[in-house]
C-alpha cells in the first residue's frame, strides 16, 4: 500500500498521527479530530505549503496512528509522544503566558490537577505547554472522571458536590486515606507521561489483590478505572486491512470472503447497569451506522454468559425478522465460555453455519467453534492485531454506553426529593445543562428557561444544592 492509500485508509475519527522517514525515525507527531481529513491536508493542500512543511512531506515514508475517543484525549497523547520522541519537525512551544499547561500540585498534601499559564519553581509538576486551550479543558474534565482528585483551592469543612457525583474522594472529610490518594496521584502521573501500559498493569495487580481480600467495592472501583482507561485506545493500527482479512480467512479455513465482521461485548460492574455492544466492520473498517447497543433486560445479577446469549440472540433474531444480510464472521470478546454461549444462541436460530470465534483478553488466545485448544498467534501477528482492534472497539463502545447510563442514573438520583421536580423535569434539566454539576451551577434565570419549569420549582432546585 503506497502512502496516499494509507492516508485514504485512515479513519474519520480522533487520534494522534505519527509521520516517519525512511529509517523509521519519527519526523512529526500531530493530533486531529478527524485523522483522514487532517493528514490528507498535507498531501492534497488547498493552499501552498510553507517550506518547512513541504520539506516534511517530501521525507514521509510511513504513517502510524493511535485512535482515541475524543480529540481532547489525543491532545494529551500528542504532548507525551512529542516529549518522548522529540520529532525534528515539531515546533517547540515556549513555557510562557502564550500557552496553557497542566499543573499537578505534588507540593500539596492532597494534590490537585488544573490548567495554568504560569510555570513557577514551587515543587509542582508541569505538563505541556499545549497549543489548544479549549481541548485542554475538555481533557481535564475527562481526567477528573478517571482520577478523582480534589479541585478546591482550600479544603472545605464538608464534602462538596464533586464528592456526591464521585468526581472527588473528599479528603476534606477524611473520605480517603493519604496513601490511597497518593496512589491515584501516581497513576495520573503515569498517564500524563504516556505510560498507559504500565498504568494498566499496576491497576490490574491492585484489582487482583482486592479480589483476593474479598474487598469487592475496591475491586469494582479499580475495574471501573481500568475500563475507562481501556476505552482510550493507544495501540498503533495496521494499514493493510484487506491483506489481513484474507490471511484471517485462510487461517480460519473459511471458504467465502470475510467482508462483514460483527463483534460483541458486555459491560457491567457487580451486575449493575449491565449493557451489551455490537460493532460492525466492513472490509476491515468500522461501519458506525451499523453499531448497536443493548440494555440487558433478562439477566438478573452477574452472569456474563447469559448476557452474551441475550445480545447475540436479540441481534440475529432481529436480522432474520427484517430479512437483512448476516455477517461473514462473528467475534466474541471472551474465551471458551463466552463463545459457547453465543454459538448456542446461533444454533437456536438455525445460524450455526456462521463462523464464530472468541478472543480472550488474558493471553489474547483465539477460540474456535468446536475446537478444544485455542489458536495461539504470535504477538506481532497482523491477524491478531486486526482481531484485537475490532474487539477493542466493541469494548470501547460498551464502556461508553455503560458510563452514560451510570451518569444519567446518578444524576437523576441526586435530583430525587426536590419538590416539583419529577421524572420529566429531571430529564429536561440534564439535557439542557449536560450534567448534574451544570444543574447545580445554574442561575434562577437559566433554570426558568428549561421546558415546563416554574419559578417555585426552580427555587427549590437552588435551595436543594445550597443545602
Report pLDDT for 193: 81
Locate the DSSP E strands across 21-91.
Answer: 26-32, 62-67
Question: Which triple of cell numbers denotes residue 132?
Answer: 489548544
pLDDT at residue 101 is higher than 60 = yes
Instruction: Identify the residue with better confidence: 299 or 413.
Output: 299
Report pLDDT for 238: 37
d(CA 427, CA 412) in angstroms, rounded, equals 8
pLDDT at residue 231 is higher than 60 = no
pLDDT digits (tens, 9 = 90+) for 301-339: 778 899 999 999 999 999 999 989 899 999 999 999 999
What is the average per-residue pLDDT within 111-117? 92
Distance set, CA 319 to CA 87, 243, 313, 324, 390 (Å): 49, 29, 10, 5, 21
For cell 484471517, name the residue. 248
Question: Which triple of cell numbers denotes residue 384?
Answer: 491478531
What is the average per-residue pLDDT within 7-15? 86
- Closest by CA to 130, choosing from 87, 103, 96, 101, is 101
Radius of gyration of the chain (CA): 24
Share of the chain above pLDDT 90, in %: 25
pLDDT digits (tens, 9 = 90+) for 409-456: 554 556 776 888 877 887 788 777 767 777 888 888 888 988 888 988
- Closest by CA to 81, choosing from 138, 23, 26, 2, is 26
Contact criterion met (CB below 8 Å) for 405 and 430: no
Contact criterion met (CB below 8 Å) for 311 and 276: yes
pLDDT-based confidence at residue 234 (cuts at 50, 70, 90): very low
What is the average per-residue pLDDT within 240-267? 85
Report pLDDT for 162: 76
d(CA 15, CA 256) in angstroms, rounded, equals 33
Cβ neighbours of 2 (radius 10 Å) = 6
d(CA 392, CA 448) in angstroms, rounded, equals 43
Contact criterion met (CB below 8 Å) for 184 and 147: yes
Give the CA angle between residues 380, 382, 385 to the nearest 5°. Answer: 85
Domains in the chain with CATH codes? 3-85 (3.40.1440.10), 101-194 (no CATH), 241-405 (3.30.420.340), 415-466 (1.10.150.20)
Report pLDDT for 230: 63
Instruction: Identify the residue with better confidence: 241 or 62.
Output: 62
What is the average per-residue pLDDT within 62-91? 84
pLDDT at residue 235 is higher than 50 = no
How many residues make up the chain in this entry? 467
pLDDT digits (tens, 9 = 90+) for 338-361: 999 999 999 999 999 999 999 987
Instruction: Identify the residue with better confidence: 391 or 426.
Output: 391
Amino acid at each position: 500500500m503506497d502512502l496516499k492509500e494509507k492516508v485514504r485508509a485512515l479513519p474519520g475519527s480522533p487520534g494522534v498521527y505519527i509521520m516517519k522517514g525512511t529509517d523509521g525515525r519519527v519526523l512529526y507527531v500531530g493530533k486531529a479530530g478527524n485523522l483522514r481529513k487532517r493528514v490528507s491536508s498535507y498531501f492534497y493542500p488547498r493552499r501552498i505549503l510553507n517550506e518547512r512543511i513541504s520539506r516534511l512531506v517530501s521525507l514521509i515514508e510511513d504513517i502510524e496512528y493511535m485512535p482515541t475517543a475524543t480529540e481532547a484525549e489525543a491532545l494529551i497523547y500528542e504532548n507525551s509522544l512529542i516529549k518522548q520522541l522529540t520529532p525534528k519537525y515539531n515546533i517547540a512551544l515556549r513555557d510562557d503566558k502564550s500557552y496553557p499547561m497542566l499543573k499537578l500540585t505534588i507540593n500539596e498534601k492532597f494534590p490537585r490537577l488544573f490548567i495554568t499559564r504560569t510555570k513557577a519553581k514551587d515543587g509542582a509538576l508541569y505538563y505541556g505547554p499545549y497549543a489548544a486551550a479549549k481541548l485542554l479543558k475538555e481533557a481535564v474534565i475527562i481526567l477528573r472522571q478517571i482520577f478523582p482528585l480534589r479541585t478546591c483551592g482550600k479544603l472545605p469543612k464538608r464534602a462538596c458536590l464533586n464528592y456526591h457525583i464521585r468526581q472527588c474522594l473528599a479528603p476534606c472529610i477524611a473520605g480517603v486515606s493519604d496513601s490511597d490518594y497518593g496512589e491515584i496521584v501516581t497513576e495520573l502521573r503515569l498517564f500524563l507521561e504516556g505510560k498507559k501500559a504500565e498504568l494498566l498493569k499496576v491497576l490490574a495487580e491492585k484489582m487482583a489483590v482486592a479480589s483476593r481480600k474479598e474487598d469487592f467495592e475496591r475491586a469494582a472501583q479499580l475495574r471501573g478505572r481500568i475500563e475507562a482507561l481501556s476505552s482510550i485506545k493507544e495501540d498503533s493500527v495496521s494499514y493493510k486491512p484487506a491483506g489481513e482479512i484474507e490471511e484471517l480467512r485462510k487461517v480460519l479455513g473459511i471458504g467465502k470472503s470475510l467482508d462483514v465482521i460483527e463483534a460483541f461485548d458486555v459491560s457491567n460492574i457487580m451486575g449493575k447497569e449491565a449493557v451489551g455492544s455490537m460493532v460492525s466492520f466492513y472490509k476491515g473498517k468500522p461501519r458506525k451506522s451499523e453499531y448497536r447497543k443493548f440494555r440487558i433486560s433478562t439477566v438478573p445479577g452477574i452472569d456474563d454468559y447469559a448476557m452474551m446469549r441475550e445480545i447475540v440472540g436479540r441481534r440475529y433474531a432481529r436480522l432474520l425478522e427484517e430479512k437483512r444480510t448476516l455477517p461473514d464472521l462473528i467475534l466474541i470478546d471472551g474465551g471458551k465460555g463466552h463463545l459457547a454461549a453465543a454459538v448456542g444462541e446461533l444454533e437456536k436460530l438455525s445460524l450455526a453455519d456462521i463462523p464464530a470465534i472468541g478472543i480472550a483478553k488474558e493471553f489474547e488466545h483465539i477460540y474456535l467453534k468446536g475446537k478444544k485448544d485455542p489458536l495461539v498467534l504470535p504477538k506481532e501477528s497482523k491477524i491478531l492485531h486486526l482481531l484485537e482492534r475490532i474487539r477493542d472497539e466493541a469494548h470501547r463502545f460498551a464502556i461508553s454506553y455503560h458510563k452514560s447510563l451510570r451518569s444519567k442514573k446518578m444524576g437523576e438520583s441526586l435530583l430525587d426529593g426536590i419538590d416539583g421536580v419529577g421524572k420529566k423535569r429531571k430529564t429536561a434539566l440534564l439535557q439542557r445543562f449536560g450534567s448534574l454539576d451544570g444543574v447545580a451551577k445554574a442561575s434562577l434565570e437559566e433554570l426558568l428557561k428549561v421546558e415546563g419549569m416554574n419559578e417555585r420549582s426552580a427555587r427549590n432546585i437552588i435551595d436543594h444544592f445550597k443545602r
